[in-house]
Amino acid sequence: MIFRVFIISVIVLFSGCAAPSQLSGSGSWAESMLKKLTLREKIAQMMVYRMNMHYLNYNSDEWEEIEELISTDGIGILHIWFGETGSSLTMLNEMQRQAKVPILVEADIESGLGRRYPGAVTLPPMMAIAATGNPKYAYEAARISAEESRAVGIHFNLAPVVDVNNNPKNPIINTRSFGEHPDSVNRYSKEFIRGLHDYGMLATAKHFPGHGDTETDSHSALAQIPSDSSRLWEVELPPFKNAIDSGVDAIMVAHVNAPDFQFNTDDPATLSKFWIQDILRSKMKFDGAIITDAMDMGGIVKKYSDSYALIETIKAGSDIIIQNNQMKKSIDLVEEAVNDGILTVQRINESALKVLRMKEHLGLHINNVISMDQTHKNIGRQSDFSLAEEIAENSITLVKNKNNLLPLQPDPSEEFYVIDLYDGPNNHNESSVTIKLREHGYKLNSFQIDKSDSLVIANHILEQIPKDAFVFLNAYANPVEWKDNIFLPSVEADFINRLIKKSDKVIITSFGSPYLIQDFPDAPVYICAYKGSEIMQQALLSALMGESDINGILPVTIPGVAKIGDGIQIKSNKW
């Protein structure tokens, strides 16, 4: 009964023709090249090889492995974790020179190339962009990402995240999302996709069929969309349909499932014909490339063997597989499955052709060499850094401002207390906010608490802070793989609750999840800065010092504290 209702809902919601992806239609080069490839070379087009673009000696074992892969079956797609501009120029150009078929290069560039490459621009996270209330910033963020990425040889962005983050306990999506409402996610992701396309970069919508209403990090285990989530088709799926209508090139399927809405209730979407073929292909009319999330994540490996998962995801309809970095073994397994009749040559041809069309669309068959002139011209432009700072400043969101403590008008002789709270272990470094406050000449008493600290240490620090002291408290809790929790450790949350009873002049800033205040709802002043990156810390400092307006709005509801769209506006008031 549930399934019948679901099918009717999908037909009504997604009836009509979807806009084709950029990669639709026949490509003469792609089809011609497919005919020239051996079975193993076709399979290699589907596999993603992962590496860092740091210096490698050409006589090293790692480089010899790369050359062997290129000279035998080929490397269809390369994923870059981190890199350096010079190394990318040298190694990618050499790899492309040796390749029989141009290599498609991809990376996760959700918040700017600067997260991956020193010297490039780091951008605010997607939730911060939505907090500005201005979708044009999503376009500009994508434009910067595309121009800088293409300048180091990256063609294919595994972004944007189109998950609707409507679960405050979500440990892995959270601030990577544009917010909790599908309409907002639609507006910002459409502009992000357009920005990538306008500047020559392929786009990916992820994590299908939706990872926003989950409480499990799929890096650690299979994540489930709640069984009573009857509004799945009104919330999770529309942003993917919007992405399809916007011409998105690829959709990433995730290691999530919705037990009440799929035939094989235990299967992750990654291995599910129901999700990939029945819903994504047939109902939603997506004709672009389907890429898996990494197949070495806990959502797969805790239940399935590498070989089983690899074959099943191809059977289900995945075109690009982020395999376990055992390239030759993966190709061997797929070739064996074809020879045994488990997979067909036609099935391999379909996926290989999609990848080749991506390469043809980018013009890689004509020119796949990185131009050093473009690298020096497009990476680290001051105008792009300035725009990133503008976005960050416009995102700062003031949620609570008891007794109008902001804007600040401090007495220069007053003593301040700054406390940096970290949700990870072994971090007792002063934050950039703390360092820069001191550089501005303020008398500071600085403390740091991290996850490894005991209640005894927290008590000792609390004792050092006088009653009614002026306190800046900076909380760092960002969505990170395998962390499995987005809130502060209990010792730190308890510390905050005792601190705000001791003083009502405590300014708390969340450099990460906006939901942290749920553990200390009586906080007198609460600011959302969405991430602990340097650019967001500087934006917060500018807001505190009255150098920029505070005009951000919440892209999410904070249960019991504030609703979506809230945000106290304050005009700049320089000290």
DSSP string, 20-86: PPTT-S--HHHHHHHHHS-HHHHHHHHBEEEEEES---TTSHHHHHHHHHHHTT---EEEEEEE-HH
> Is 549 labeled as catalytic in the residue annotation?
no
Q: What is the mean pLDDT of residues 235-254?
A: 98
- Where does the pLDDT of residue 267 fall: very low under 50, low under 70, confident under 90, or very high at 90 and above? very high
16 torsion bin: left (phi>0), alpha (psi -120 to 50), beta (else): left
Instruction: Tell me the sheet residues that pair with 204.
Output: 250
Whether the pLDDT of residue 114 is over 70: the answer is yes
pLDDT at 356: 98
pLDDT at 21: 59
> Is 384 labeled as catalytic in the residue annotation?
no
Whether the pLDDT of residue 14 is over 60: the answer is no
Q: What is the mean pLDDT of the chain?
A: 93
Q: Identify the sign of the CA torsion 540, 545, 551, 553.
A: positive
Contacts of 90 (CB under 8 A, 6+ apart): none
Contacts of 526 (CB under 8 A, 6+ apart): 398, 399, 400, 508, 509, 510, 517, 561
Dihedral angle at the C-alpha atoms of 73, 74, 80, 82, nearest 10 degrees? 90
Q: Which of 171-185, 401-415, 516-530 has the lowest mean pLDDT?
A: 401-415
pLDDT at 19: 53
Residue 87 φ/ψ, nearest 5 degrees: -65, -40
Q: What is the mean pLDDT of residues 162-187?
A: 97
Is 537 exposed, middle or buried (CB count within 10 Å of its CB: 0-12, 13-18, 19+)? buried
Whether the pLDDT of residue 574 is over 70: the answer is no
pLDDT at 372: 87
- The pTM assigned to this predicted structure is 0.94
Among 213, 217, 245, 293, the active-site one is: 293
pLDDT at 440: 83
The pairing of beta strand 525-528 with beta strand 397-401: antiparallel
| Spatial contact of 293 and 269, defined as CB atoms under 8 Å apart | no
C-alpha span between 137 and 247 (Å, rounded)? 20
pLDDT at 13: 39
Among 79, 211, 219, 365, the active-site one is: 219
User: pLDDT per residue over 313-340, tens digit each?
Assistant: 999 999 999 987 899 999 999 999 999 9
Token pair 């490397």: residue: 75
Token pair 């037990």: residue: 259
Domains and CATH numbers, the chain: 2-40+106-380 (3.20.20.300), 396-544 (3.40.50.1700)
User: pLDDT per residue over 384-434, tens digit each?
Assistant: 999 999 999 999 999 999 999 998 877 767 899 999 999 988 789 999 999
